[in-house]
């Protein structure tokens, strides 16, 4: 079963992102209250444009949801938030909240829905909204491929994806449909049941921004070594660098205080096979310093929150063998 969420958005957001063709996007909400639980990682999130268009114009693979301050969202995604600069995003938030302009010192919390492999269809491929999508829907509506409405929506989306993307599905096969229906045609479920079978999920390839937020949330916004909670000085560190074969996966990440992250990348600290923090003797010999870090020698690495993968043993082994200066 594949879950689908049809989220309502402004056309300027869609147009801006379609113009830069990013590898991931932040479908953000101006309100920072309430967690998004409609989808699981690997489910499908679709963009439904507001009136007068009232059409589904694209979407992406859902990766992660978070309530994050604007500063973190901009640091992680930049223009992939759908705004040319942070000032523009700040003004848009105020407008959508129908509030006074935000000062530069304000850092509002917003709702973030992180999507990978986004797709933006040309207007001739836009889908009319399903008949069950109420005109007064503000945020969006969920569907599922285990019912007729959701299955019809998935089949229509899949036909367009087959023409425009290389998006792949896990589970049952993801074949190309027999032909594209008229974009203006209504959603009519096949009375004989699924024609091709619904996937269990879509493959999600995390980008740098999704990695940043997922690792930050995965460790409860606390440094895995020191327990530091000051968000601006916490970094999502790759255990094995992306440039050297490591992926943007939570299992290849650690949330570290900025200084510890720097030492980790340089090989002055690492994590032992038993999950203990280790500091190289080279830190003392190279800089005649490091008392603060040696005080943390042997400390147990903080485990991620429930539902988030811990660092993969093979990634930590790679770091010990290829980075650590022990």
- Would you say 251 and 312 are in contact if contact means Cβ atoms under 8 Å apart? yes
Peptide bond into 52 cis (omega under 30): yes
3-9/44-49 β-pairing: parallel
What is the Rg, in whole angstroms, of the alpha carbon atoms belonging to the chain? Answer: 22
Strands (E) across 71-157 are located at: 109-120, 127-128, 140-144
pLDDT of amino acid 184? 40
Task: Give the separation between CA 257 and CA 235, rounded to whole angstroms.
Answer: 6
DSSP letter for each residue of 58-101: EEEEEEEEEEEEHHHHHHHHGGGGSSSSHHHHHHHHHHHHT-PP
pLDDT of amino acid 208? 95
Instruction: Indicate the class that CATH gives domain 3-202.
Output: mainly beta
pLDDT of amino acid 159? 92
Query: What are the tokens at 220?
Result: 């409860």
Only one residue has tokens 């093979």, namely 314
Q: What is the pLDDT of residues 159-191, one digit of tens each?
A: 998 888 656 555 443 333 333 334 344 333 343
Task: Give the separation between CA 196 and CA 183, rounded to whole angstroms.
Answer: 20
pLDDT of amino acid 166? 59
pTM of the model: 0.86
- Under-70 pLDDT residues of the chain: 165-200
pLDDT of amino acid 246? 96
Q: What is the pLDDT of residues 60-70, one digit of tens each?
A: 999 999 999 99
pLDDT of amino acid 231? 96
Spans of all domains in the chain: 3-202, 219-322
Task: Give the separation between CA 266 and CA 282, rounded to whole angstroms.
Answer: 11
H or E stretch including 291?
A: helix 291-294
Query: What are the tokens at 112?
Result: 């973030």
Number of helical (H) and strand (E) elements in the chain, helices listed first: 9, 13
**46-to-3, 14, 106, 247, 283 alpha-carbon distances in Å:** 11, 11, 31, 26, 50
């Amino acid at each position: 079963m594949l879950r689908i969420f049809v989220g309502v958005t402004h056309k300027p957001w869609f147009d801006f992102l379609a113009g830069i063709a990013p590898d991931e996007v932040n479908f953000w909400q101006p309100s920072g209250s309430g967690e998004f639980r409609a989808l699981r990682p690997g489910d499908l999130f679709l963009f439904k444009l507001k009136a007068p268009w009232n059409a589904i114009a694209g979407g992406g693979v859902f990766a992660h949801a978070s309530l994050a301050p604007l500063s973190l969202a901009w640091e992680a995604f930049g223009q992939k938030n759908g705004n040319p600069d942070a000032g523009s995003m700040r003004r848009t938030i105020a407008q959508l909240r129908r509030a006074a302009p935000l000062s530069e010192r304000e850092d509002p919390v917003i709702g973030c829905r992180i999507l990978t492999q986004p797709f933006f269809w040309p207007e001739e491929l836009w889908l009319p909204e399903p008949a069950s999508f109420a005109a007064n829907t503000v945020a969006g509506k969920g569907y599922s491929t285990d019912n007729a409405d959701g299955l019809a929506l998935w089949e229509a989306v899949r036909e367009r994806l087959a023409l425009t993307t290389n998006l792949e599905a896990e589970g049952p096969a993801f074949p190309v449909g027999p032909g594209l229906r008229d974009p203006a045609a209504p959603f009519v479920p096949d009375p004989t049941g699924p024609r091709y079978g619904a996937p269990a999920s879509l493959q999600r390839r995390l980008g740098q921004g999704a990695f940043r937020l997922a690792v930050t949330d995965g460790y409860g916004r606390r440094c895995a070594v020191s327990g530091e909670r000051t968000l601006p000085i916490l970094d999502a560190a790759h255990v094995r660098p992306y440039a050297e074969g490591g992926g943007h996966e939570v299992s290849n990440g650690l949330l570290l205080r900025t200084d510890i992250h720097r030492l980790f990348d340089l090989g002055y600290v690492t994590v032992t096979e038993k999950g203990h923090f280790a500091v190289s003797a080279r830190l003392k010999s190279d800089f005649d310093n490091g008392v603060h870090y040696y005080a943390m020698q042997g400390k147990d690495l903080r485990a991620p929150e429930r539902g988030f993968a811990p660092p993969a043993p093979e990634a930590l082994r790679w770091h010990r063998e290829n980075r650590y200066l022990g």
